[in-house]
């Protein structure tokens, strides 16, 4: 078996900033990422959507690179850039021709050291974020389904249950003081990792990183709110109106085990058995065979990157002539089969082969042809921030390859239980649709 | 543009010397049955990516029904005599492979990727789907119903409705005017129609096989010959279509979507194909205008005014014609304000020379981003496929950067004057007429449609 090994060097600067370099000189391109260990899960109460709004503010100017200059300097170096906010991390990344490496480091260091924004920037980005929410959620059929619909139904701790994109009233309430406080609390070097991937020599990369980031003072270690959930002992259900689409939709989410446990590996393969494309059990049964559903897919969102309660979620859009209860019954039959009968060695072998192949694809790409090594960057960042062990990129596969049919069977029985799940019905406003309970 | 003065950065490190951009060598071959091959090595991961491209798509079948090539591609994916649906999925998974089928206006294709150690078995499955797809009645009926739901769902999406209308406005009687069938047209598809599209389009004389990845070209060539050499079939007869007239005089087309909280703006005009000698100049003009984050349009209506999240412009190249488009989803109150800024920026490009430093920034962007795709197998595949499909010169990739660098401000001004005239832009607005009709009417004669495409008074 031809195993992929990624060369990785890791060290920590005196101010606590992790530095990870993964050299590969195949193409004259380097990907630079900075990950901060704060996502929307632990943003301040009364400030839903703030972590994401803050991410936008990080492009609004810093002490030596005023508004628009970060974007201009990356684009005019021949590169692309973006940022994203997820549950437990926020990232900033750019892919550039490798001759722009030092310029990118200077820009990232400048905004880590001294964000410099004003009320006008905040108002501008609040408007932009509202348009983002409108285009992705409010004006879009099935917008926010189920990633925004599920949390308030499934969870009881505000951290996990609130609107991650933000209620508009909360976005309006955010002021410059919030921006400064959030920056000072979470955007400290000792809560971040800097990643250099691609055409960079480790020694040079380390020296440049030290030159630009080394003098940024460490901050107080951030205090994080407790994201844990009270134990769930009953099935939870909720309804959400669908304004534009005409097909009823259902999302079913089951609580996941903790990351990096044997159960986690088994659940990941069970997830592939259930959701891994056209050959998966749920798609095959609901779409291809019973033909109740038009779409039936899902999975574990960001398997390697969650650091708090999360679910494996199935999304079903079904034909209106079938009731939602009938669609749910068909889904339940697939789940029951995984509990009554162990997966065959042959099926598991297929899943593992596909898993390995997908894993390589993740490491190489992940955000389109122009953003190479996004997946590798994400995994290295999560393994560094959560586990202090970026080398896991080279060994994590072993745990999945070792999973046995018995473990998958046990995972199905232990985790896919009604009292551990939540169900959201997205109900079209169009007349004539059978309402779910 | 903006009301705010732009401050410059202080102490920016200079760029280091550039490393040379070297595109991998391509091995080009033609099998005796006419199948054209393009192979390139890329050893980033122990996998390979490929595409089997047929040079006929929805346009070539438009005289029979819109979207027929796309429906054919969908049903091809459901299996062959030897590999019924379930077995096909299992065998793909067994070798760690992904496979999808698709058809656009100009091509139909089978795209795939898999582990290098199983290259030959994957190529064999591709070959089987290209030659022996079974078009079972049950599979066809199911996929047709799926397509019907997809078509219905599309008609609730402002971005789709705007694209559909713009293509109709720009291309009139030409098949490029159709981006989707209607529900009635899907209901009228016959299995035999799909099968004849399959027999005509899916032939080696009409095909290109492009492969990029972790392999030895010599070894892979042997596998390809073994797998594909007994396949036969002729090139379908070429179809010609009258050149659509470029619409003159600005007009506004409003697609009424009740209840929307935002309006999708899409404006466009005819442009050029990739083979045209102005392609790179127009691409650079587009980069400056709205093709990059750092472009004038984005800086104006997003970063200065906050009207929208994702404004952009693009030069869209189909094989026979191209078109330019500007898009933004904006809140309802600022539809007129956004259009005013879009046209202001367009007119400015036709009126004033672009400053040298801004030109250099755009050149760096376009040539840098062009090379970023080098680092991944699918990035390379997409470049090689584009060159092959559009019949661009063999040295297109190698000479692209130098051509971008050679463009002057005068050249950009001439290009903007030649192609980008705000007085002739066709404007589509997908949104709630009650919220936006009076703003829409400010920009030209107005026609209003519902989501099904019927004229409203």
Residue B392 carries which DSSP code? Answer: -
User: How far, in Å, CA of B424 to CA of B342, rounded?
Assistant: 13
Q: Tens of pLDDT along A138-161?
A: 999 999 999 999 999 999 999 999
Q: Which residues of A touch B142 (CB under 8 A)?
A: 288, 291
- % of chain A at pLDDT higher than 90: 95
Contacts of B158 (CB under 8 A, 6+ apart): A139, B255, B257, B260, B262, B263, B264, B329, B430, B431
* Closest approach of B232 to chain A, Cα-based (Å): 30
One-character DSSP codes across B67-107: THHHHHHHHHTT-BSSS-HHHHHHHHHHTT-EEEEEE-SS-
CB A364 within 8 A of CB B376: yes
* Lookup: tokens for B45: 């991961």
Candidate from B15, B97, B146 with C-beta closest to A103: B15
* Lookup: tokens for A367: 């955000």
At B397 the pLDDT is: 95
**Backbone phi, then psi, for A175, in 5-degree steps?**
-125, 175
CB B280 within 8 A of CB B214: no
At B409 the pLDDT is: 98
> Domains, chain B, ranges and CATH?
26-228 (3.30.830.10), 251-456 (3.30.830.10)
At A432 the pLDDT is: 45
CB B33 within 8 A of CB B224: no
pLDDT band at B371 (very low <50, low <70, confident <90, very high): confident
State the CB neighbour count (10 A cutoff) for residue B414: 15
Query: pTM of the prediction?
Result: 0.96
Q: Which residues of B touch A100 (CB under 8 A)?
A: 15-16, 368
* Closest approach of B359 to chain A, Cα-based (Å): 10
pLDDT band at A252 (very low <50, low <70, confident <90, very high): very high
> Domains, chain A, ranges and CATH?
9-213 (3.30.830.10), 236-428 (3.30.830.10)
Answer yes or no: is pLDDT of B1 > 80: no
Q: Tens of pLDDT along A392-408?
A: 999 999 999 999 999 99
Q: Tens of pLDDT along A90-137?
A: 999 999 999 999 999 999 999 999 999 999 999 999 999 999 999 999
Candidate from B15, B19, B98 with C-beta closest to A28: B19
- From chain B residues 284-343, the ones with a CB under 8 A of any chain A CB are 292-294, 299, 302-310, 329-331
The residue among A121, A370, A397 with the most chain B CBs within 10 A of its CB, best to mutate, is A370
The residue among B21, B40, B96, B144 with the most chain A CBs within 10 A of its CB, best to mutate, is B96
Interchain CB contact of B80 with A (< 8 Å): no
Q: Tens of pLDDT along B258-286?
A: 999 999 999 999 999 999 999 999 999 99
| Listed residue (B266, B271, B74) closest to B176, CA to CA | B271
- Selected residue with higher pLDDT from A367 and B161: B161
Candidate from B13, B16, B46 with C-beta closest to A360: B46
Answer yes or no: is pLDDT of A434 > 60: no
Compute CA distances B129 → A293, A328, A365, B75, B138, whole Å: 25, 34, 27, 10, 17
- % of chain B at pLDDT higher than 70: 99
Q: Which residues of A touch B116 (CB under 8 A)?
A: 2
The residue among A27, A62, A433 with the most chain B CBs within 10 A of its CB, best to mutate, is A27
Chain-chain contact of A102 with B16 (C-beta, under 8 angstroms)? yes
At B225 the pLDDT is: 97
At A368 the pLDDT is: 62
Q: Can you say how many angstroms the Cα of residue B179 is from the centroid of all Cα atoms in its chain?
A: 12
Q: Which residues of B touch A77 (CB under 8 A)?
A: 15, 364, 368
Chain-chain contact of A246 with B308 (C-beta, under 8 angstroms)? no
Give the 3-state secondary structure of residue B343. Answer: helix
User: How far, in Å, CA of A240 to CA of A202, rounded?
Assistant: 51
| Listed residue (B154, B157, B144) closest to B186, CA to CA | B144
Answer yes or no: is pLDDT of B17 > 60: yes
| Listed residue (B175, B359, B335, B346) closest to B269, CA to CA | B346
At B2 the pLDDT is: 46
Candidate from A26, A102, A284 with C-beta closest to B44: A26
Chain-chain contact of A131 with B364 (C-beta, under 8 angstroms)? no
Beta strands in B184-261 (DSSP E): 207-213, 251-256
Segment among A225-239, A247-261, A360-374, B266-280 with least mean pLDDT: A360-374
Give the 3-state secondary structure of residue A22. Answer: strand
* Closest approach of A346 to chain B, Cα-based (Å): 9
Please give the angle made by the CA atoms of B402, B406 and B407, to the nearest 5 degrees: 130
Answer yes or no: is pLDDT of A431 > 60: no
Q: Which residues of B touch A199 (CB under 8 A)?
A: 19
At A365 the pLDDT is: 86
How, if at all, do strands B312-317 and B47-54 pair?
unpaired
Q: Tens of pLDDT along B144-198?
A: 999 999 999 999 999 999 999 999 999 999 999 999 999 999 999 999 999 999 9
| Listed residue (A417, A410, A407) closest to A253, CA to CA | A417
CB A266 within 8 A of CB B76: no
* Lookup: tokens for A303: 């398997």
At A430 the pLDDT is: 74
Q: Tens of pLDDT along B88-107?
A: 999 999 999 999 999 999 99
Q: Which residues of B touch A93 (CB under 8 A)?
A: none
At A367 the pLDDT is: 67
Residue showing tokens 């560094």 = A384
Answer yes or no: is pLDDT of B3 > 70: no
User: How far, in Å, CA of B41 to CA of B22, rounded?
Assistant: 12
Candidate from A135, A140, A360 with C-beta closest to B310: A135
User: How far, in Å, CA of A197 to CA of A208, rounded?
Assistant: 14
Interchain CB contact of B16 with A (< 8 Å): yes
Q: Which residues of B touch A128 (CB under 8 A)?
A: 302, 306, 308-309
Answer yes or no: is pLDDT of A341 > 80: yes
Chain-chain contact of B372 with A120 (C-beta, under 8 angstroms)? no
User: How far, in Å, CA of B378 to CA of B357, rounded?
Assistant: 33
Closest A-chain CA to B10: A64
* Helix residue spans in A315-373 (DSSP H): 324-340, 345-364
pLDDT band at B7 (very low <50, low <70, confident <90, very high): confident
The residue among B368, B369, B370, B436 with the most chain A CBs within 10 A of its CB, best to mutate, is B368
Q: Tens of pLDDT along B306-328?
A: 999 999 999 999 999 999 999 99
Q: Tens of pLDDT along B198-253?
A: 999 999 999 999 999 999 999 999 999 999 999 999 999 988 899 999 999 999 99
When the pLDDT of each residue in chain B is averaged and rounded to a whole number, the result is 96
Residue showing tokens 């899943």 = A351
State the CB neighbour count (10 A cutoff) for residue A157: 17
Chain-chain contact of B97 with A128 (C-beta, under 8 angstroms)? no
At A3 the pLDDT is: 74
Query: Residue A155, preceding bond cis, omega within 30 degrees?
Result: no
Interchain CB contact of B145 with A (< 8 Å): yes
* Closest approach of B248 to chain A, Cα-based (Å): 31
At A2 the pLDDT is: 60
pLDDT band at A178 (very low <50, low <70, confident <90, very high): very high
At B238 the pLDDT is: 86
* Closest approach of B431 to chain A, Cα-based (Å): 10
Closest A-chain CA to B292: A75
Candidate from A24, A125, A134 with C-beta closest to B261: A134
At A426 the pLDDT is: 98
* Closest approach of A152 to chain B, Cα-based (Å): 24
Total CB pairs under 8 A between chain A and B:
250
């Amino acid at each position: 078996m031809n195993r992929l090994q990624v060369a990785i060097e890791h060290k920590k600067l005196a101010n606590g900033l992790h530095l990870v370099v993964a050299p590969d000189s195949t193409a004259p391109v380097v990907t630079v990422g900075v990950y901060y260990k704060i996502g929307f899960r632990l943003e301040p109460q009364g400030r839903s959507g703030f972590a994401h709004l803050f991410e936008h503010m990080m492009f609004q100017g810093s002490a030596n690179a005023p508004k628009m200059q970060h974007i201009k300097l990356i684009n005019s170096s021949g590169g692309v850039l973006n940022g994203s906010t997820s549950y437990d991390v926020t990232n900033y990344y750019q892919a550039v021709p490798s001759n722009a490496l030092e310029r990118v480091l200077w820009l990232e260091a400048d905004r880590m050291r001294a964000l410099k924004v004003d009320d006008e920037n905040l108002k501008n980005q609040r408007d932009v974020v509202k348009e983002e929410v409108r285009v992705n959620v409010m004006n879009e059929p099935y917008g926010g389904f189920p990633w925004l619909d599920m949390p308030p139904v499934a969870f009881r701790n505000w951290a996990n249950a609130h609107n991650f994109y933000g209620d508009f009233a909360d976005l309006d309430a955010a002021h410059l003081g919030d921006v400064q406080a959030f920056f000072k609390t979470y955007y400290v070097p000792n809560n971040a990792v800097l990643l250099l991937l691609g055409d960079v020599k480790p020694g040079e990369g380390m020296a440049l990183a030290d030159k630009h980031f080394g003098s940024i003072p460490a901050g107080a270690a951030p205090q994080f709110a407790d994201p844990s959930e009270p134990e769930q002992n009953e099935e939870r259900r909720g309804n959400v109106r669908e304004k534009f689409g005409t097909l009823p939709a259902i999302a079913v989410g089951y609580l996941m085990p903790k990351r990096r446990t044997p159960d986690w590996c088994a659940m990941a393969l069970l997830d592939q058995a259930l959701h891994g494309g056209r050959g998966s059990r749920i798609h095959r049964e609901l779409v291809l065979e019973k033909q109740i559903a038009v779409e039936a897919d899902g999975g574990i969102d960001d398997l390697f990157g969650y650091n708090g309660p999360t679910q494996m979620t199935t999304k079903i859009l079904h034909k209106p002539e079938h009731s939602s209860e009938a669609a749910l019954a068909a889904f339940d039959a697939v789940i029951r089969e995984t509990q009554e009968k162990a997966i065959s060695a042959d099926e598991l072998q297929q899943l593992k082969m596909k898993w390995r192949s997908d894993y390589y694809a993740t490491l190489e790409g992940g955000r389109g042809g122009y953003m190479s090594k996004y997946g590798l960057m994400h995994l290295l960042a999560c393994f560094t921030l959560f586990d202090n062990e970026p080398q896991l990129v080279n060994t994590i596969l072993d745990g999945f390859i070792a999973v046995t049919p018995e473990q998958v069977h046990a995972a199905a029985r232990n985790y896919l239980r009604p009292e551990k799940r939540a169900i959201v019905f997205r109900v079209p406003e169009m007349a004539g649709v059978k309402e779910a309970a | 543009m903006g009301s705010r003065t732009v401050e410059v950065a202080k102490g920016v490190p200079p760029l280091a010397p550039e490393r040379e951009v070297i595109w991998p060598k391509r091995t080009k071959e033609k099998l005796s049955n006419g199948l054209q091959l393009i192979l390139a090595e890329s050893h980033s991961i122990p996998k390979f990516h490929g595409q089997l491209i047929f040079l006929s798509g929805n346009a070539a079948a438009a005289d029979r029904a819109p979207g027929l090539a796309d429906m054919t591609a969908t049903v091809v994916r459901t299996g062959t005599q030897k590999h019924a649906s379930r077995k096909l999925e299992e065998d793909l998974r067994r070798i760690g492979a992904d496979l999808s089928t698709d058809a656009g206006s100009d091509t139909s294709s089978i795209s795939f990727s898999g582990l290098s150690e199983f290259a030959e078995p994957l190529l064999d499955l591709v070959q089987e789907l290209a030659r022996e797809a079974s078009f079972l009645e049950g599979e066809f009926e199911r996929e047709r119903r799926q397509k019907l739901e997809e078509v219905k769902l599309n008609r609730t999406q402002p971005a789709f409705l705007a694209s559909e209308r713009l293509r109709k406005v720009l291309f009139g009687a030409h098949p490029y005017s159709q981006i989707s069938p209607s529900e009635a047209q899907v209901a009228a598809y016959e299995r035999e129609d799909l099968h004849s599209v399959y027999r005509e389009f899916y032939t080696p004389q009409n095909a290109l096989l492009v492969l990029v990845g972790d392999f030895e070209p010599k070894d892979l060539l042997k596998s390809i010959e073994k797998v594909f050499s007994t396949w036969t079939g002729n090139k379908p007869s070429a179809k010609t279509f009258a050149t659509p007239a470029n619409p003159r005089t600005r007009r506004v087309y409003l697609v009424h979507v009740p209840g929307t909280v935002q309006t999708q703006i899409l404006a466009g005009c005819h442009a050029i194909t990739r083979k045209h000698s102005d392609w790179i100049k127009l691409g650079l003009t587009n980069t400056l205008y709205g093709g990059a984050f750092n472009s004038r349009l984005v800086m104006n209506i997003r970063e200065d005014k906050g009207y929208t999240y994702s404004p952009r412009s693009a030069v869209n190249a189909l094989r026979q014609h191209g078109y330019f488009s500007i898009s933004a989803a904006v809140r309802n109150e600022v539809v007129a304000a956004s259009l005013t800024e879009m046209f202001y920026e367009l007119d400015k490009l036709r009126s004033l020379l672009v400053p040298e430093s801004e030109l250099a920034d755009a050149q760096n962007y376009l040539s840098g981003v062009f090379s970023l795709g080098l680092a991944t197998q699918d990035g390379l595949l997409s470049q090689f496929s584009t060159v092959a499909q559009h019949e661009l010169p063999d040295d297109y990739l190698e000479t692209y950067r130098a051509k971008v660098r050679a463009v002057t401000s005068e050249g950009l001004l001439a290009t903007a004057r030649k192609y980008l005239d705000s007085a002739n832009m066709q404007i589509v607005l997908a949104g709630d007429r009650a919220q936006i009709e009076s703003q829409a009417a400010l920009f030209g004669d107005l026609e209003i449609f519902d989501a099904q495409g019927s004229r409203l008074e």
